[in-house]
């Protein structure tokens, strides 16, 4: 009994001793926020203004009939690439050919009459020299010969017109380009002035770019414009050549125009993105846009100092493509929190996740 009693007493004492020990208190503190770090860099920052416009052909003539007649052949359809002088359609030439024959006959008739008048005038001049006729008779013959010469010139013009009309039975393209619309069909009778085709040129295009009326005093002729289009891989640069003096009645926008040579893939009517270079800021300080966050004090960045950050109120300028210009409150070379900056407060603890690999700072940056 004594032995069992001692065993139970010993176990009870051990249990009481274990229960009486207090657990060690763990040291606790604020968790460090993981962030990436970017270094503020000094760059030349372009001030840009962007817009979306459309491409236009410098020439899109509507080809119309210059003589009447039935359409015998249509040699070009919508989408056909054509050259200047290429025949698009052929009209029946019977009517214009008959008109030419009539003009030729009239020209020959008047020519014979004029030649006879000239011979007669020469004889009358000789008779006048011998005083066989009066001066009045000679003057009358001179007048008749002059009138016949004028009539001959008129019939010559009529013949030339008839000759031209025969050529106009062939409908030709006035420019190099592409047939946008085929309006006429074989067998159709057309009158003078009836539209037959619409042809657009593609060698030289014009970008129409609308800008808000607030930019009217900023945009100037000669400013550089960068162009891109979803239909073409090329990126081009041109200059503002024209500015429409009045704002549009519907959108109150001013249109500016940039003319350029088509490298090949650009299409009239397509969308074009235009970026005007308004100016540049040299040695501007830029940081990633996520580095700037809004706080009660204003727009701030968090400058990384070891394992903590210091809040810095800044003034921002232009921004685009994920970058923002810092006008004041931060110097080039200082390191700021980028990803994760929105979770920080002044003097917060941080863990840099990209140590030794600062976030790249790129340009250009554009106007807000």
Rounded percentage of the chain residues whose pLDDT exceeds 70: 88
pLDDT at 364 over 50: no
Q: How many helices (H) and strands (E) does the chain have?
A: 3, 24
pLDDT at res. 25 = 47
pLDDT at res. 214 = 87
Angle at 152 between CA 149 and CA 155, to 5 degrees: 155
pLDDT at res. 367 = 46
pLDDT tens per residue across span 268-278: 889 999 999 88
Q: What stretch(es) of the chain map to CATH 1.10.287?
A: 93-168
pLDDT band at 359 (very low <50, low <70, confident <90, very high): low
The CA-to-CA distance between both ends of the chain, in Å, stands at: 94
Cα 309 from chain centroid (whole Å):
46
Whole-number average pLDDT of the chain: 86
pLDDT at res. 363 = 45
Cα(156)–Cα(109) distance, integer angstroms: 11
Cα(3)–Cα(147) distance, integer angstroms: 164
Closest CA to 291 of 335, 356, 348: 335
Q: If one looks up domain 33-45+281-352 in CATH, what number appears? A: 2.40.420.20
Mean pLDDT over 13-40 rounds to 65
pLDDT tens per residue across span 243-272: 988 877 777 888 999 999 988 888 888 999
Classify residue 94 as exposed, middle or buried by CB count within 10 Å of its CB (0-12, 13-18, 19+): exposed
pLDDT tens per residue across span 304-321: 999 999 999 999 988 877
Q: What stretch(es) of the chain map to CATH 2.40.30.170?
A: 51-59+201-280
Say which CATH class 51-59+201-280 falls into.
Answer: mainly beta
pLDDT band at 165 (very low <50, low <70, confident <90, very high): confident
pLDDT at 287 over 90: yes
CATH topology of domain 93-168: Helix Hairpins (1.10.287)
For the CA atoms of the chain, what is the radius of gyration?
Answer: 45
Residues near 84 by beta carbon (within 8 Å), at least 6 away in sequence: 173, 174, 175, 176
Mean pLDDT over 16-42 rounds to 68
pLDDT at res. 138 = 85
Cα(229)–Cα(270) distance, integer angstroms: 7
Q: What stretch(es) of the chain map to CATH 2.40.420.20?
A: 33-45+281-352
Helix (H, G, I), strand (E, B) or coil at 85: coil
Q: What stretch(es) of the chain map to CATH 2.40.50.100?
A: 67-91+169-200
Range 124-128, long-range pairs (CB < 8 A, 24+ positions): none
Q: If one looks up domain 67-91+169-200 in CATH, what number appears? A: 2.40.50.100
> What does DSSP assign to residue 354?
T
pLDDT at 19 over 80: no
pLDDT tens per residue across span 176-231: 888 999 999 999 999 999 999 999 988 889 999 999 988 888 999 999 999 999 99
Query: Residue 303: how many CA atoms within 13 Å on its side-chain side?
Result: 13
pLDDT tens per residue across span 98-112: 888 999 999 999 999
């Amino acid at each position: 009994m004594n032995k069992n009693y001692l065993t139970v007493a010993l176990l009870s004492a051990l249990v009481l001793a274990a229960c009486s020990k207090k657990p060690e208190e763990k040291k606790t503190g604020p968790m460090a926020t993981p962030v990436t770090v970017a270094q503020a860099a000094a760059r030349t920052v372009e001030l840009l203004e962007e817009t979306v416009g459309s491409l236009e052909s410098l020439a899109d003539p509507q080809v119309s009939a210059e003589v009447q007649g039935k359409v015998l052949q249509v040699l070009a359809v919508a989408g056909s690439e054509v050259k200047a002088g290429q025949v698009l359609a052929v009209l029946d030439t019977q009517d214009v050919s008959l008109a030419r024959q009539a003009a030729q006959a009239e020209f020959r008739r008047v020519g014979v009459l004029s030649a006879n008048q000239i011979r007669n005038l020469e004889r009358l001049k000789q008779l006048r020299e011998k005083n066989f006729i009066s001066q009045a008779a000679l003057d009358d013959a001179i007048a008749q010969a002059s009138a016949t010469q004028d009539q001959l010139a008129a019939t010559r013009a009529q013949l030339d017109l008839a000759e031209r009309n025969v050529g106009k039975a062939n409908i030709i393209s006035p420019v190099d380009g592409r047939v946008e619309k085929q309006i006429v069909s074989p067998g159709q009778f057309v009158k003078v002035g009836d539209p037959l085709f619409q042809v657009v040129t593609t060698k030289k295009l014009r970008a129409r770019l609308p800008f808000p009326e607030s930019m009217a005093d900023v945009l100037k002729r000669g400013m550089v414009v960068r162009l891109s289009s979803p239909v073409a891989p090329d990126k081009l640069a041109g200059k503002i050549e024209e500015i429409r003096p009045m704002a549009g009645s519907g959108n109150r926008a001013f249109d500016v125009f940039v003319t350029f040579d088509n490298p090949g893939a650009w299409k009239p009517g397509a969308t074009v993105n235009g970026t005007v270079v308004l100016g540049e800021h040299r040695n501007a300080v830029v940081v990633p846009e996520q580095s700037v966050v809004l706080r009660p004090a204003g727009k701030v960045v968090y400058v990384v100092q070891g394992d903590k950050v210091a809040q810095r109120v800044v003034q921002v300028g232009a921004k685009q493509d994920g970058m923002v210009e810092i006008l004041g409150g931060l110097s080039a070379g200082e390191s700021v929190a980028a990803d994760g900056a929105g979770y920080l407060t002044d003097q917060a603890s941080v863990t840099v996740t990209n140590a030794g690999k600062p976030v790249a700072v790129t340009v250009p940056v554009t106007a807000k």
